[in-house]
Amino acid sequence: MVDQTEPGGTRAGDDVIVLAHCPLSRIRLLWRHGQRCDDLPPMLPDQWLSVQNTGRVLRDCAIIDPVELTLSPSWCIALQSDHPVAQRAAEELRAGLVQLGGPELALAAASDGPQLNLSHGLAGDGFVRAPAANGLALRGDGPRGLLYAVYDLLETLGLRWPSPGVLATPTPLPQPLWLPPSAISDHPALPVRSLVLGHDLFLAEAEAWIAWAARNRLNTIFVHTTIHEPALGACRLATWRARREQLLPLLRSYGMRIELGGHHLRDLLPRRFFRRKPELFRYDGQQRNPDHNFCVSNPQTHAILRQMATAFFQAYPEAEVYHVWPDDLRGHGWCQCAACASLSPADQVLMATNTLAEALVALRPTAQVSFLAYHDSAYGPKVQPHPAVVLLVAPRLRSYAVGLDAPANGPLAEQLSACVAAFGGGNPNSPQAKLGSFEYYLDGILFKSAPPPLPEVIASDLRYYQQAGLGSLHVLLTGDRPFLHAPPNAYLFARLAWEPQGDPQQLLNDYASARAPHHPPSLISAYRALSQAWQPVLNREPVLEAPPAPAHGLRDPITHPPTDLLDLLDITSRDAELRLEALHKATLQLEQGYAAWEELGAPNIPAAFAAEYAEWEVGAKLLTYIRLRQQLYVLVGRNASRSALREALTEAQRALDALYAWADTHVPKRAQANHRLLRAALQLQLDQIADQRIHNPFARLGLRARRAKDLVKLLPGMVPLAIVDCRL
């Protein structure tokens, strides 16, 4: 790619310097005197021009003699801007240099002595770093670009931020501290790189996540909210209200964009209106029903939406993009009245979203609201989107064994193309912020409390999104407990969102070198082994059909245990046998993973690794449970004897008990109820087999009595969840 790039349309004669920007990578090339150079020459800060435009000719750049670039206490950090993000950049630089063993430098508005000169333009995340007459100069396209220039410099000197609250420093520390003599320029390939805070547990530790995100050059925090209970996959809106006074100044000091919302569409049409005005609500095929969404063909519905949405936007003015999505359903929640019957789910959603956009731009012309392409609204809409509506595709029902570009995920790629076309099409050379994706690499609910390492999948996906012209990438951070150490997917996502063409293996090497400088190959092996062991679980066809409509009334949770995408109970017995075989083979990979950890000190793991090892270990234990559960299902499919089933059930129960034992040690008390509530699904899946295939009637009664008791134990922790402020 680099070699094919030419400085098209510009003059590359003598004494001019040409920067050529390769559109699919962040690499810029330099021609000087008609010859390609590898690095930018040193330039004085006032000689910099914007380097955003392809092939722009710069003014002559005087070659200057750089000062000695060894940092000493006589240096200072010079910054004239009083912009809070620029001030944050200076503070981060000063602190980072100390962490590297350097001197604590003074901050100054101006200085004649040796200096790190910080400056910035109006806006943008790109930056340039170059030796200057009296030291080293860092210039951001905007204040945030300056902040990223600082982090880039600190990384060049050896710092890394692999997980919130975890700092990796080079070993040994560089003495003395030499500043890099070469000049570089860099900018992100994608304009919006976003971490989604998706549970109160993560909102409680938001300060650490925000700092981590900024240092890894994510520029957006999306607070994913709900007003409904139990709040399993989103933050309570009331919690955000309580925390935002503290968090907004912090977010602004890092230059973070803010997005806000979730499945709030139903909240804009209060269900209490149903008694007086049932015609506002959806027709379910038999009658008007307030259970989900509403009727989008009734003008009165839109009038209420407009009014309620205005109040919502006014109550939360901090966001640039709002997310007001329909109910989180796979089918069966749409209006089928005569006027709506011909409207697809996507069109019903977009008609409502367009009304929200009208209300929003009347308040704030630059704010936007998202249309969620998810489950059965993922097929492209025919309705024209309002200019303030942005696209957000969320392909949760996919295979995570491979990237979106792989044939296995072909149907979802088609859905994405249709949605992008409905929003005016995408240009890979210029990914647009109005086209976004919502991904699940850090989703502790989808991945059952243990997201697997997905380096190649994340890299393939992000390249795919870039090629499709998507410029906003969000990753959902949610789960039933706080992570002891962030899954490596966090680091990989942030890096690849900056540069989707990055090499995932190189990034994993970089991560491992930061975390385990004495044994990086061992840590890489441990993650590679876990990643491969997950393959049989992740390898599945995308789900395209909605499940049958749920029966009315309460369902017996033992007869109908809750299941999710990765439970794979819908496959044929032949596929179940093949999957079991693959899971048996994966035990070898887990053994290799454990052996790699032994090289890192397991079981007497050093304190610095304890949290990361525990996270790896829970993934391995979960896979053991899934394998033994699969064995049980296969035996049921084979009509095995009751004693064989009982033996298999005992094994699977032992694996589940090992997960509970892990949780007793590693899940903080405040998250225990949440964690056990989601783990209960795994127990109920075993109970179903015991109930239907093994137990006699007395034992079945006993099982139900025990589960009822378990639920009562969970309830004290859950009761406070139900007593919350549900006002918008």
Binding residues for Zn ion, per CB under 5 A?
295, 297, 335, 337, 340
Q: Where are the alpha helices (DSSP H) in 286-392?
A: 299-315, 345-363
In this complex, which beta carbon is closest to Zn ion, that of residue 301 or of residue 432?
A: 301
- Give min distance, CB of 311 to Zn ion, in A: 24
Tell me the two tokens of residue 709: 């008791």
Considering beta carbons, is residue 269 or 404 the nearer one to Zn ion? 269
Nearest residue (CB) to Zn ion, 173 versus 549: 549
Query: Whole-number minimum distance, CB 357 to Zn ion, in Å?
Result: 20
CB of 301 to Zn ion, least distance (A): 8
Instruction: Return the number of the residue (25 or 336) whose C-beta is nearest Zn ion.
Output: 336
Closest CA to 149 of 201, 200, 214, 208: 214
**Within the chain, how many helices (H) and strands (E) appear?**
17, 23
Contact 201, 481 (CB under 8 A): yes
Strands 76-79 and 106-108, how do they pair?
Answer: parallel
Length of the chain: 728
Measured from the CB atom, the residue of 343 and 524 that comes closer to Zn ion is: 343
Q: Between 125 and 347, whose beta carbon lies closer to Zn ion?
A: 347
Q: Whole-number minimum distance, CB 295 to Zn ion, in Å?
A: 3
Minimum distance of Zn ion from residue 266's CB (angstroms):
15
Q: Is 574 buried (19+), middle (13-18) or exposed (0-12) by CB count in 10 A?
A: exposed
Cβ 298 to Zn ion shortest distance, Å: 6
CA distance 177 to 175: 5
CB of residue 342 to Zn ion, shortest distance in Å: 10
The SS3 assignment for 727 reads: coil
* 340/682 with CB nearer Zn ion: 340
How far apart (Å, rounded) are the C-alpha atoms in residues 257 and 367?
12
- List the beta bridge partners of residue 132: 135
Minimum CB distance to Zn ion, residue 638 (Å): 48
Distance CA 507, CA 389 (A): 35
According to DSSP, residue 40 is labeled B
279 vs 598, beta carbon nearer Zn ion: 279
Nearest distance in Å: CB 560, Zn ion: 30
Task: Record the tokens describing residue 219, joined without a space.
Answer: 């520029």
Helix (H) or strand (E) holding 473: strand 470-478
Helix (H, G, I), strand (E, B) or coil at 100: coil
Contact 443, 479 (CB under 8 A): yes
* Nearest to Zn ion of 297, 674 (CB atom): 297
CA distances from 464 to 186, 396, 437 (A): 21, 16, 11
Are the CB atoms for 446 and 475 separated by under 8 Å?
Answer: no
Three-state DSSP at 114 gives coil
Residue 467: CB minimum distance to Zn ion, A: 38
Q: In the Cβ-directed half-sphere of 453, how many Cα atoms lie within 13 Å?
A: 29
Q: How far is the CB of 289 from Zn ion (least distance, A)?
A: 11
Whichever of 71 and 335 has its CB closer to Zn ion, that residue is 335
434 with 422: CB under 8 angstroms?
Answer: no
Residue 56's SS3 state is: coil
Q: Which is nearer to Zn ion, 335 or 602 (CB)?
A: 335
Q: Which is nearer to Zn ion, 43 or 295 (CB)?
A: 295
User: Rounded distance, CA 402 to CA 623, Å?
Assistant: 18
110 is written with which tokens?
Answer: 């101006």
CB of 676 closer than 8 Å to CB of 663? yes
Q: Smallest distance from the beta carbon of 720 to Zn ion, in angstroms? A: 38
- Tokens describing residue 203: 């909102």
